[in-house]
Structure 1
Amino acid sequence: MLKNFIVFAFCLMLFPFCGNSQGIGFNSNNNLISERTSYNVFAHNTPKFGEGFSVSFDLSVSDPLSFGYIFSVKDKNKSTSYSLSYINASDGFGKIKFNLDAVKNILSIPLDTVLIGSKKWVKVQLIFNSESQSITLTVNGKTFTENTYGFDASFIPEMYFGKHGSVIEVPDMAIKNLLIKNGNREYNFHLNESQGKNVHDTNGKLYGHIDNPNWLINESYHWKKRYSFSSNQVASISFDEAQQRFVIFNSDSLSFYHLRNETTQTQRFANPIPVPMRLGTSFIDTATNTLYVYEVNDVPNNKATIASANLDSLIWVAKSTLQLPTQRHHHNFYLDSDKDEFLIFGGFGNQRLTNNFDVYNFNSNTWKSLVFSGDTITPRYFSGLTQINKDELLIFGGLGNKTGDQSIGKTYYYDCYKVNLNTKIIIKLWNVKRDTIKMVTSRSLVVTNDTSAFYTLGYPEYIANTHLQLYEYTIAKGTYRVLGDSIPMISERIRTNANLYFNKETNELFCTTQEFELDGSNRISIYSINAPPVSKETINDHLSKANTFNYFLWGIILGVLLLFALVYAFIKYRKRKKKALEIQIENTLILDEENTKTIKPMNSVSLFGNFSVADRKGKDITYLFSPKIRQLFLLLLFNSYREDYPGVSSESIYSKLWPDSPVQKAKNLKNVTISQLRKILNAVNGLEVIYTHGRFFIEFNEGFHCDYFKVLDQLNLLKKDIVNNEALIELTQLTKSGGFLKSIDDECFDQIKKDYEFQTLKLIPNHIKRLYKNKNYAAVIPVTKILFNIYSLNEVAFYYKLHALLKMGLKDKAKSHFNYFIIDYKKMMGDDFTYTFNEVSKRIPKGLIRN
């Protein structure tokens, strides 16, 4: 009984969403009969028609070969019934048939198959004229009339879309913008609910009921993964809008992913690509059906840097062997087909950032740099670019600094510039202050249909397990909105990238991601979302739109929830009596109260939390390490702790510590710093700076302790033994002081950080999952801290810690954990976390841990 009561309360909570028009997708004959969609328009509030009426709606038939009933209208008290059906295509045409049911076909209207397909809409209108005793059907602007009106002057209508009664054939279709008129009365249905079976009009009044709905608004919020491709070689992807396909290729073969029919086609090139693919940058000239691949640097002399292949013949032709002086990771690209040239802006390579605009011309086979006046765009990479009119480009955001020198640090930009290629003038439009946010943007921007704003994908590129989030910025002022849910992406290597495209034919945004692994293999994924995309607030906006009569239902719901809360608390109280759970709770509470301050052992270096060094007496001598001494010490430390690490050459020290100093000056600075470091390390047993065979390294003995070395040992043990709880406990103790190199922001150690994070993120989530599955909830809590120390918004750690606390009945601590998380989320992302405590408490999301 209690279970049924709770289900009833949950069903009452499924109120509709009211906002911009979206629609309903119907489960068709491809589904079981019980799963097909049935929409009763006036199930809850049936009007009485006193004169003629009209019904209009937008219709999309996804599959031209499907068959079934679109719409039916009947006199409730008589047998008179009319229906609209779709008949599958033949000879390039489908048919929409209007019938007097069980009597005759009244109208049969051909529908060209170019109007049929997913995301293609045609307008349908039926006018039942009681005065002229006629019925008029308009489909896609073509009108047909017949004098076969069969309803009484006054009748009660029954209107259905899809399955109803004995009618079970449903075509593969969707509808939106339903409008019914009867005299002066209008019944307007935007069909923009996001959940549930009730259908309200635009005023929030309940009218209809629908079984097995597919609310299309959800396709404007949730990204859908469409296709994935993996390659052991560097691969590339380009969008061919003219042919409605994505082109994915590597050095020897090519795959077409066709959007119209969701199929793939793989072919081999007629000859190998003459360009050695490093970054895999490519584009398609749709005017000539030609695929281009290019590299700007890091190509052997006399090897092609630009090549093209006709997508029909698949024959590669080398176009150029010219190179730019440096590599240009994450540059921006613009193709000018009229001038037979393309432009690139910005990028990173050889430890330098650039703000150059470089143009390659196919006719003259030359590169040239453009010179602009007006505002200056600082050197950067990871920015976004789009064309806004014939002569102007828009550039947004990026990562860089004023000098272009990578070693002095980086700034995350949220500024926007208009670049006029004709007048050669740059105008800065705005700069959004997001000081606590560290996020780069996708390579390409997409301008909205009304040209007032643009879409971009932002993501923290420095986080290994990162996520992409769609943003909309207004071009005039830079105000922004967060749209849609997020897309997971692994950002381990500099070549990992994301792009954003808009498909006019299907009115969809597409995101492509390319994730590179340590060994150079890569995976390309394609995602889509309906345009215009919507926010989480829009999805939930139905709560403010509900009609006043729903308040009574909310009273019932609150009463039910109160009862449910009491029962839930009682159940938890009983469970809390169980000894095993009591022990776990006690351990968790003790752990919560423990002082996290760690006593540093003698002769030790601590790299987790704040950098610190203790001498042979246990005295903290961290203050002796100036930034340069510390940088040199860590450089030697990381290149000496394994036998296969050969130490560091003088040249490498110069380039890392004093890249802009003349060689002789850098040599003198190195000698002084080495001398100071040796003097400091005399106070630590087990550490000595050695110079041999032209390289510096640090020699260790057993008296020296380094938490990082011990952490690596424990990670190696966990690799070999999935149930090594002793290693896991040791790991939590070693890392509880904080993140690895938390206080160190030198870019020369970024790869060390990433390697540690990669190993940890690959191992620890599975151990957390194992502990949780084995109901060892107390052990889950400290292990999640390892992930939080890497990234405070780690979703695996967040969900498993929250649910472990809930399993132990510590709801207040779970709420506290949730509140701390959403505060951090706001600080780091600049936006509110999209889910409530109740939503994240329901379940741990599937697919959270990638094996």
Structure 2
Amino acid sequence: MGLKFYTAFLLVLLIASAPVYSQSYGLGFAGHEVVQDKRTALDLSPERPLCFDRSFELSFDLSFMPGYADHFGYIFRLIDQEKRNIDLIYDMSFDENKHFKLIVGDKISDIAFDIDTNKLYKNWHTLKLKFDVDRQELIMFADGKYYKQKVSFKNNCYKIFLGANNYKDFSVKDVPPMNIKDVRITENDKVSYYWPLDEKGGTKVTEKIKGKDGLVINPIWIKKMHHDWELVKTFSVKGLASVALNAKKESLYVVTEDSLITYNVVSNGLSYMGYSSGKQRLFAGNQSIYDAGADKLFNFYIDQKLVVDFNFANKTWDKNYITPDVITNYWHPNKFYSAVDSSLYMVGGYGQYTYRRSIERYHFPDKKWTTIKASGDFTPRYLSALGAVKDGAYILGGYGSATGQQILNPKNIYDLNFYDVKHKTFKKIFELAPPAEEFAFANSMVINEKEDTYFALTFPNNSFNSSLQLIEGSLHSPTYKLVGNSIPYPFHDIYSFADLFYCPASKKFVAVVLFHEEKNNTTSVKVYTLSGPPEAAYAASTKGLSWKPAKYLLFLLPVLIITGLVIYRWKRKRFVKVKLQPLVDEPSAVETVVEQHENTIFLFGDLQLFDKEGEDITKYFSPLLRELFLVVLVYTIKWGRGISSEKLTEILWFDKTADSARNNRSVNIAKLKVILEKMDGLSDL
């Protein structure tokens, strides 16, 4: 997105939210889930051992990564100059209830304790190990208790490692999948060394007090995990596809024509379940939704007023769709399940050059469809984000028009509405200020009712090489901020689909990008995850450029100069004199000359068009409309008779079927004509 857009909204949320984000740092340790060479090793004394005059205390915060069966391994290892190791390990033995053990040399000490695993998954726990030289003992503080072990100290210099290490004869590779942050060494109640582990990347670990930086191998930086989306899975399926999330199991369902694909967010595993009921033909506009209350997966197709139910036990769909006569009337509708009346609601959508305002309701108890006539103002739209709550759903933004007709001034919409299920009403809450660069929304948004906030994915809908950007906003005021980095998004209107989900147990956001290749009838699926709470965006990202086909560029370049000279004849410039009233004691008025363009086209530099009133109408041109306009213009100037529909299809829609090319051509020519009606002298284009 544009730099102005990022800068304007980077700090709009209240300062009160800062403590939440301050916890999103630390170092993750890769353990048994990866091969030995990929495991994480942190060395806090890479150059020489750290030495202490008297007693000192080592402390740090620890948590476990959820979703792993094996957490056995070394949390830390200290090695003194007598070549004696002092280790804290996590022992996976199930016959004991003290899994944390302190090892001194080659013996298990009397210090052993346990912390509930569920607590370790969900929270940070501070562990402290005091080296009491005066009393010649080790004292461990953990989970509100302390434990002691008599130990003789002959020297007070140590090599300090966390996780794996490659140090001489003390090399270890057993590492639990864990997170550590805020490592401190304290002497005489004063912090001598502090490694917060708050880096965003790299292998250097900054020490804040004395500059004794550490080194890490194979780091998993938690701050990076809260800022950078990770592409966790990518694959292709035959035909169309749709997605739904089982938040309780943290499983993403990808519904395809011949199988149900399940991606588990925690284990990162992918599984396939073939249909016993045979192929389920999916059609454009189908979507899926998971009902947590009934523990059921549904797929629906509004055009046929049909909701089909998947049975996980026998791997069957209870119904099949029939081949439709026409392409869908409902691209990108929003949907939600309401427990208030046990119904599935479908809101808005687009099809046959029309934006929808309608609300379709499927009542599960009696399996009946109803078109709801909702009161309140709600602009027909699609490409909106919807987030369901107990009494209804919030609907944010979109793209549409006041009349619903595509040819009558369609535009981006930025209002937040609430649909009340019980009262069947729309209520507008507020409207976001138009951004520097227009954007639409992925299909769903995540609602945080406790904080009265929402998360949604935005994307510029005027280019193919677009990108998804997560925002966090307020449900009560038109403020929002950018969080995380961006996700590449190939946006080709009806062929693209993006959705956003949230897994509360692992606190992970899940973004899914679907792109249907009509030519070979395949859908690419990309799954991204981001740890929550997400970090505020570091800096503005650069929006991808939308490159025209090379064939088109080669054709256009030779005639640009000729075109520019001809267009110059069309251009008229007018200088308007504005007379300002003199201020007090000023001897005379001041005349200012303002340059104004009317009915003007600029081809060199960025394409710009000004209508007959002098308004810049360039913003109404999508990249495709720019290409269409320039191709028609060049052919009109060069040949004096315009361009044939066949040639236009060959240049701009060569990868489409005949029907699809015809539909695309008709829609975009209609859009272009509406825009050009604002200018004089272009009726023949």
597 and 415 in structure 1: CA distance in 2 versus 1, 3 angstrom threshold = same
* 2:243 corresponds to: 237
Structure with bigger helix share is 1
Determine if contact 1:24/1:215 at 8 Å carries over to the other structure: yes
Q: Matches of 1:159 and 1:507 in 2, distance apart?
A: 32
Give 2:381's aligned amino acid: R
* 1:765 corresponds to: none
27 and 183 in structure 1: CA distance in 2 versus 1, 3 angstrom threshold = same
Determine if contact 1:516/1:522 at 8 Å carries over to the other structure: yes
Q: Matches of 1:61 and 1:42 in 2, distance apart?
A: 26
Q: Which residue of 332, 343, 346 maps to 1:344? A: 346
SS at match of 2:302: coil
SS at match of 2:318: strand
SS at match of 1:413: strand
* 1:307 positional shift: 1.2
* 1:328 corresponds to: 330
- What does residue range 460-471 of structure 1 map to in structure 2 within 5 Å? 460-471=460-471
Give a deviation string over 1:236-284, Cα, whole Å, max 9, x none.
Answer: 2211122222212223322222233322222222214677533231111
- What does residue range 342-741 of structure 1 map to in structure 2 within 5 Å? 342-370=344-372, 372=374, 376-387=377-388, 389-424=389-424, 426-434=426-434, 436-448=436-448, 451-519=451-519, 520-537=521-538, 597-598=563-564, 706=643
Give 2:27's aligned amino acid: I
Determine if contact 1:345/1:357 at 8 Å carries over to the other structure: yes
108 and 684 in structure 1: CA distance in 2 versus 1, 3 angstrom threshold = closer
* 1:339 positional shift: 3.0
For the pair 1:208 / 2:209, whether they are aligned, the reply is no
Q: Matches of 1:751 and 1:308 in 2, distance apart?
A: 40
Determine if contact 1:92/1:113 at 8 Å carries over to the other structure: no
SS at match of 2:225: helix
Q: Which residue of 74, 83, 102 maps to 1:69? A: 74
* 1:189 positional shift: 4.0
* 1:335 positional shift: 0.8
* 1:217 corresponds to: 223
Determine if contact 1:86/1:171 at 8 Å carries over to the other structure: no
Give a deviation string over 1:274-312, Cα, whole Å, max 9, x none.
Answer: 775332311112333311111110x3xxxx711102222
Q: Which residue of 187, 190, 195 maps to 1:185? A: 190
* 1:72 positional shift: 2.4
Q: Matches of 2:48 and 2:536 in 1, distance apart?
A: 30
Q: Matches of 1:466 and 1:498 in 2, distance apart?
A: 12
Give a deviation string over 1:66-122, Cα, whole Å, max 9, x none.
Answer: 643211245x55556421123456689994332112233434556777778xx7666
Determine if contact 2:338/2:390 at 8 Å carries over to the other structure: no
93 and 147 in structure 1: CA distance in 2 versus 1, 3 angstrom threshold = closer
Give a deviation string over 1:766-802, Cα, whole Å, max 9, x none.
Answer: xxxxxxxxxxxxxxxxxxxxxxxxxxxxxxxxxxxxx
Determine if contact 2:285/2:332 at 8 Å carries over to the other structure: no
SS at match of 1:148: strand
Structure of higher RCO (CA pairs closer than 8 Å, 6+ residues apart): 2
* 1:539 positional shift: 11
132 and 427 in structure 1: CA distance in 2 versus 1, 3 angstrom threshold = farther
425 and 205 in structure 1: CA distance in 2 versus 1, 3 angstrom threshold = farther
* 1:644 corresponds to: none
Q: Matches of 2:638 and 2:561 in 1, distance apart?
A: 29
* 1:499 positional shift: 0.2
How many percent of aligned residue pairs carry the same amino acid? 17
Q: Matches of 1:685 and 1:262 in 2, distance apart?
A: 57
For the pair 1:96 / 2:97, whether they are aligned, the reply is no
268 and 745 in structure 1: CA distance in 2 versus 1, 3 angstrom threshold = closer
For the pair 1:749 / 2:669, whether they are aligned, the reply is yes
- Which stretch of the first structure deviates more once superposed, 523-532 or 488-497? 488-497
Determine if contact 1:51/1:183 at 8 Å carries over to the other structure: yes
Give a deviation string over 1:446-478, Cα, whole Å, max 9, x none.
Answer: 135852432211112342232222222233322
Give a deviation string over 1:34-72, Cα, whole Å, max 9, x none.
Answer: 975233169699573644635231232564346432112
Give 1:288's aligned amino acid: A
* 2:548 corresponds to: none
Determine if contact 1:513/1:525 at 8 Å carries over to the other structure: yes
**TM-score for both structures, normalised by structure 1:** 0.57
- What does residue range 34-53 of structure 1 map to in structure 2 within 5 Å? 36-40=40-44, 46=50, 48=52, 50-51=54-55, 53=57
Determine if contact 1:492/1:516 at 8 Å carries over to the other structure: no
Give a deviation string over 1:616-636, Cα, whole Å, max 9, x none.
Answer: xxxxxxx9xxxxxxxxxxx9x
* 2:287 corresponds to: 281
SS at match of 2:443: coil
SS at match of 2:407: helix
Give 1:278's aligned amino acid: A
Give a deviation string over 1:514-544, Cα, whole Å, max 9, x none.
Answer: 101223432221111222222442799xxxx
Determine if contact 1:43/1:208 at 8 Å carries over to the other structure: no
708 and 432 in structure 1: CA distance in 2 versus 1, 3 angstrom threshold = same
For the pair 1:58 / 2:62, whether they are aligned, the reply is yes
* 1:270 corresponds to: 276
For the pair 1:23 / 2:26, whether they are aligned, the reply is yes
Q: Matches of 1:711 and 1:228 in 2, distance apart?
A: 34
Give 2:397's aligned amino acid: G
Give a deviation string over 1:611-662, Cα, whole Å, max 9, x none.
Answer: 99xxxxxxxxxx9xxxxxxxxxxx9xx9xx9xxxxxxxxxxxxxxxxxxxxx
Give a deviation string over 1:180-238, Cα, whole Å, max 9, x none.
Answer: 3544324554311123443335x676343113233222222222111123223222221
Give a deviation string over 1:689-720, Cα, whole Å, max 9, x none.
Answer: xxxxxxxxxxxxxxx675998898789999xx
The aligned length equals 557
418 and 747 in structure 1: CA distance in 2 versus 1, 3 angstrom threshold = same
Structure with bigger strand share is 2
- What does residue range 155-170 of structure 1 map to in structure 2 within 5 Å? 155-156=156-157, 158-164=159-165, 165=167, 166-170=170-174
Q: Matches of 1:320 and 1:595 in 2, distance apart?
A: 55
Q: Tell me, which stretches of 5 or more residues in structure 2 are unaligned?
A: 1-20, 542-556, 568-599, 604-611, 613-624, 656-663, 674-685
Q: Matches of 1:480 and 1:310 in 2, distance apart?
A: 41
SS at match of 1:125: strand
Q: Which residue of 83, 86, 89 maps to 1:85? A: 89
Q: Matches of 1:35 and 1:494 in 2, distance apart?
A: 43
Q: Matches of 1:122 and 1:317 in 2, distance apart?
A: 46
Q: Matches of 2:338 and 2:650 in 1, distance apart?
A: 55
* 1:348 positional shift: 1.5
Determine if contact 1:126/1:135 at 8 Å carries over to the other structure: no
* 2:125 corresponds to: 123
Q: Matches of 1:493 and 1:717 in 2, distance apart?
A: 17
For the pair 1:248 / 2:254, whether they are aligned, the reply is yes
Determine if contact 2:48/2:159 at 8 Å carries over to the other structure: no
Give 1:25's aligned amino acid: G
208 and 59 in structure 1: CA distance in 2 versus 1, 3 angstrom threshold = farther
Q: Matches of 1:267 and 1:496 in 2, distance apart?
A: 25
CA-based RMSD of the aligned residues comes to: 4.7
